[in-house]
Amino acid sequence: METHGLDVIGDAERKGTPRTLFWPWFGANVSVLGLSYGAFALGFGISFWQALVAGWLGIVLSFLLCGLTATAGKRGSAPTMVLSRAAYGVRGNRLPSAISWVLTVGWEIVLVSLATMATATVFDRLGWGDGSGTKVVALVLISVVTVVGGVMGFDLIMRLQTVITVVTGVLTVVYIALVAEHIHWHSVSAVPAGSTQEFIGALVFMMTGFGLGWVNTAADYSRYLPRSTAGRGVIGWTTFGGSVAPVLLLVFGLLLAGSSDDLSKAIGLDPIGALATILPQWFLVPFAVVAVLGLVGGAVLDIYSSGLALLAAGLRVPRHVAALVDGILMVAGSVYIVFFTDNFLGQFIGFLTTLGVPVAAWCGIMLADLAMRRRDYDEADLFRAGGRYGDVPLRPLLLTLVASWLGWGLVTNAAASWLEWQGYLLGPLGLGGKSGPWAYANLGVLAALVLGFLGTLALGSGRIRAQELQAPSPEATEEALTG
């Protein structure tokens, strides 16, 4: 079991090369859920070619943000939401840490729920049983694997992701070969083109569904790399590992969804299970394996990082206890989705977009702060409220709140009734209101990202220069570096 929590990784324990980052990022994103994003993208009312461009741009650009954030890990050798203290202050950073925690726990719930529903669908087709009993057993087994991985920590996760990468990659290729006959190009090419606003909406959705959902965890795995590691390698392997599988899966997902309206609609209710309905029966068990492993690969990374985020938000317990707490919440949320809701896609889009706004604001602030720093982080001061990074600096917190207010005012989520309060700026800014052409463009995510980045560049340079003029702190004690 990994004993590290928020503490800085010592030089003797730093290991690996940037290439090792490929395995966790590929393993977490090779899930067949990537195929379902084809239906999600076409659901914005755009054509195959528009969806392809929006998807590729959204996936690659969002994972590039992850790669840039990951460079902070090798410069500070601490978890992402500890390194964020340099921008937000030691206690001020609890706000973005809490948001990060909610986002990662939410993703855990989504991934485990999808794995459970997919297993139940496969068992139903095989005649091995369906209904609540099958779902309960599947939920228990999938949750146990996920929680054990998160509790055990870094070394087990890296080994697990390598296995998931190989097994899932091979079986996914077989799946594609088996269902290729269901593609009908004449139907795909007949899908009409959408507006610019709909294209932007799909682009932003792809960003929030992929890289922006991981950006707040990106340094959690690069922190084990030696300080001498090349930043370009960290950026390149993180971006490549995270994006290569979704980019390829999206193409095939678009072809499948564009070929059948019925399949596209079914994906909205059961994004993974619906993909099993077009398979020959003999491949259903391997499909269940590939579906569950791919989703568990993402959930394990999320539960590991959510535990770290919970500690950074102020909970003082060992890391494995925090991961266990998150596991309990994950199970409770999964029970709700699997047994009590029938509108998965609407709730899913609402969740991603709503939390995507403050996470985008944090990302902009974090990247601008990182870009302006010429020195590595002072590790001891990341844990001292009286150190150079401060305790609760108001400027980054206010910037986050303003960017989030602006962002939420420019997004809408009509399919999720609990989010109808959003979109309050679309009318005043002349964008047609909540039913106008810009209503589903999700401009708020981009606005929050840009405002956070440019606002920090404009207002934060003096603070960073003053920090870096200070002499390095004395070597910290073990107690000081545990947070």
Higher pLDDT, 74 or 481: 74
Mean pLDDT of the chain: 88
**Lowest mean pLDDT, pick from 153-157, 301-305, 400-404:** 153-157
Higher pLDDT, 44 or 152: 44
Residue range 350-356: mean pLDDT, rounded: 82
Pair 101, 309: CB distance under 8 Å: yes
Find, among 157, 153, 161, the residue nearest to 319 by Cα: 153
Give per-residue pLDDT as tens, 369-378.
999 999 989 9
CA distance 210 to 333: 21
Higher pLDDT, 119 or 399: 399
Q: What is the pLDDT of residue 97?
A: 94
Percent of the chain with pLDDT over 70: 95
CA distance 407 to 441: 12
Q: What is the pLDDT of residue 381?
A: 93
Asked if the model's pLDDT at residue 478 lies above 60, the reply is no
Select, from the ranges 105-119, 175-189, 265-279, 334-348, the one with the highest average predicted confidence (pLDDT).
175-189
**How many other C-beta atoms lie within 10 A of the C-beta of residue 2?**
15
Residue range 194-219: mean pLDDT, rounded: 92
Which residues lie below 8 Å from residue 275, measured CB to CB, with a gap of 6+? 32, 35, 36, 175, 179, 256, 267, 287, 291
- Number of residues that make up the chain: 483
CA distance 410 to 405: 9
Pair 246, 31: CB distance under 8 Å: no
Q: What is the pLDDT of residue 482?
A: 47
CA distance 221 to 292: 23
CA distance 452 to 466: 21
Per-domain boundaries in the chain: 11-343
Question: CA dist 469 to 73, 473, 475, Å?
Answer: 22, 12, 18
CA distance 442 to 349: 11
Q: Letter for the amino acid at 381?
A: D
Residue range 326-331: mean pLDDT, rounded: 90
Give per-residue pLDDT as tens, 5-39.
787 888 888 888 999 899 888 887 888 888 899 99
pLDDT band for position 477 (cuts 50, 70, 90): very low
pTM: 0.88
Q: What is the pLDDT of residue 479?
A: 44
**What DSSP element (H or E) covers 94?**
helix 94-126
Pair 116, 138: CB distance under 8 Å: yes
Pair 325, 150: CB distance under 8 Å: no
Higher pLDDT, 302 or 343: 302
Asked if the model's pLDDT at residue 415 lies above 70, the reply is no
In 377-422, which residue ranges form alpha helices assigned H by DSSP?
394-408
Q: Under CATH, which architecture does the 11-343 domain have?
A: Orthogonal Bundle (1.10)
Asked if the model's pLDDT at residue 256 lies above 90, the reply is yes
Find, among 77, 2, 17, 24, the residue nearest to 298 by Cα: 24
CA distance 74 to 225: 6
CA distance 132 to 139: 10
Residue range 107-121: mean pLDDT, rounded: 85
Pair 382, 396: CB distance under 8 Å: no
Asked if the model's pLDDT at residue 469 lies above 50, the reply is yes
Give per-residue pLDDT as tens, 422-453.
999 999 999 999 888 898 898 999 999 999 99
Q: What is the pLDDT of residue 100?
A: 92
Select, from the ranges 127-136, 149-158, 210-219, the one with the highest average predicted confidence (pLDDT).
210-219
